[in-house]
Copies of this chain bind each other. A is one copy, B any other.
Amino acid sequence: MQFSDKIAPLKPSAIREIFKVLGDPSIISLAGGNPAPETFPVKEFQTLSAKLFEENGKNALQYGLTEGYLPLRKKITERLKEKLGIGRDFDETIVVTGGQQGVDLTCKILCNEGDVVLCEDPSFIGALNAFRSYNTRLVGIPVDDCGMQIDKLEQALKKEKKAKLIYTIPTFQNPTGVCMSLERRKALYALAKKYGVIIIEDNPYGELRFHGEEIPTIKSMDEDGIVVYCGSFSKILSPGMRIGFLCAQKEIVSKIIVAKQVNDVHTNLFFQMLTDAYMETYDLDGHIREIRELYRKKCAAMQAAAKQYLPANVSVTSPEGGIFLWCRMPETVDSQKFANRLLRRNVAVVPGMAFSPDDAPSNGMRLNYSMPTEEQIDRAIQQIGEELREILF
């Protein structure tokens, strides 16, 4: 079969392949990006669903507008303004089918084949593959403990004449868990403006801060309409319902609506109405506080276990929120091989290479702490420590 040039080289993601072995309940997975299921508002959704079917069932099952259910859009718009200082007169907020669709369609409407997308290295594989699926070229900018390295970004912008997008997850980055400093956010914005490049700020974890001070979003600085902000209810209500949102200047949003219309017409309307009713009826902020507290404990458990079990030449990041941390092993370690060896110890992780914009080998690996229990975290890190000692010493 002759596939399109843009799709032919794309392979199923490494995460996806690792997911396949996870049917086995004896395996402890630090590999996924799943929120803890105990955080899902099952009872509240059950109550609201009964009411929604009762009072408005026919409308909830009919076709809806591509840009989303208006009362929900209004609530998201207000919330973005209030919590994050996001949204100017020229901006508009729409509902998308998960934050992923926002990233995918933003690339589609802006990038020609051969255009360059600058992204963090390492970065979220789902976004990287979305960019690849439009035949763009990825240029990775190294990440340190303060996020994307801005001097390297400027070097790349000077060099790459076809740079069109900067993709960043500034807050509790996937996969590293680090937060970009305010100074760097400002510098990144200034560079994007100077070089005429659009920023995608992907912020699925932004509300999950459990330590330290809030740092303003890049979109809150967006006086020029050059930031496309992608958000999601996946990590604060439920990922399975696939409800995300996107805020950008109207001209961009109007093209994204056209692209969304031919992509899936609109997002599941019943769950848009359910999310709206949840925000109307319950205390979303209180709910998020509970999630933060849960993840704070789980992250602390993982860091304590890392301190206890990992060799001194292995470091882990110290996330102030989110659901991941990043483990850096000595340079001699090939994380891909290491992840395969760990599977024999019934522990699944995602090796760093999966997050590399240029498929480079990596001595890092991503560890998820939102899904496993504290006890599983302890056991898994102990296994990682033992395996590391076996191969290193």
Report if A240-B133 is in contact (Cβ < 8 Å); known contacts: A4-B110, A42-B58, A264-B101.
Answer: no
- A268 partner, pick from B6, B54, B241, beta carbons under 8 A: B241
Contacts of A66 in B (CB 8 A): 16
If A104-B262, A258-B129, A265-B98 touch, whether A109 touches B242 (CB-CB below 8 Å) is no
> Which of A16, A252, A254, A259 has its CB near the most chain B CB atoms (within 10 A)?
A259
Number of copies: 2
Q: Does A279 contact B (CB under 8 A)?
A: no
Q: In the complex, A9 Cα to B233 Cα: how many Å? A: 32
Report the Cα distance A249→B111, complex, angstroms. Answer: 30
Chain A, 1-21, CB within 8 A of any chain B CB: 1-7, 10-13, 16, 19
Residue from A100, A112, A113, A242 with most neighbouring chain B CB atoms (10 Å): A242
Per-position 1/0 for A244-287, Cβ under 8 A of B: 00000101101101110111111111110000000000000000
Alpha-carbon gap, A237 to B261, bound state (A):
21
Stretch touching chain B among A45-53, A205-213, A313-321? A45-53
User: Are the C-beta atoms of A101 and B263 separated by less than 8 Å?
Assistant: yes
Q: Is the CB of A268 within 8 A of B251?
A: no
Q: Does A63 have its Cβ within 8 Å of any Cβ on chain B?
A: yes
By a CB distance below 8 angstroms, the chain B residues around A49 are 46, 49-50, 53
Inter-chain contact B34/A62, CB cutoff 8 Å: yes
**Measured CA separation A217–B393 after assembly (Å):** 64
Question: Does A37 belong to the interface (CB within 8 Å)?
Answer: yes
Residues of chain B within 8 A of A242, CB atoms compared: 97, 264-269
Cα–Cα distance between A60 and B240 once the two chains are bound (Å): 7
Q: Is A64 at the interface (CB under 8 A from chain B)? A: yes
When C-beta atoms are compared, the residue in chain B nearest to A100 turns out to be: B265
Chain B residues with CB below 8 A from A267, complex form: 242
- Contact check, A130 vs B263: say whether CB atoms are below 8 A apart: yes
Chain B minimum-CB-distance residue to A113: B113
Interface residues of A (CB under 8 A from B): 1-7, 10-13, 16, 19, 32-35, 37-38, 40, 42-43, 45-46, 49-50, 53-54, 57-66, 97-98, 100-101, 104, 108-113, 115, 126, 129-130, 133, 234, 237-242, 249, 251-252, 254-255, 257-259, 261-271
A selection of 18 A-B contacts at a CB cut-off of 8 Å is A7-B259, A10-B259, A34-B62, A42-B57, A42-B58, A64-B240, A97-B242, A98-B264, A104-B263, A130-B263, A133-B259, A133-B262, A239-B265, A240-B268, A240-B269, A240-B270, A242-B266, A268-B271
Query: Which 10 pairs show the lowest CB-CB distances between chains A and B?
Result: A42-B57, A46-B53, A61-B238, A240-B269, A130-B262, A37-B58, A268-B268, A97-B264, A40-B61, A7-B109
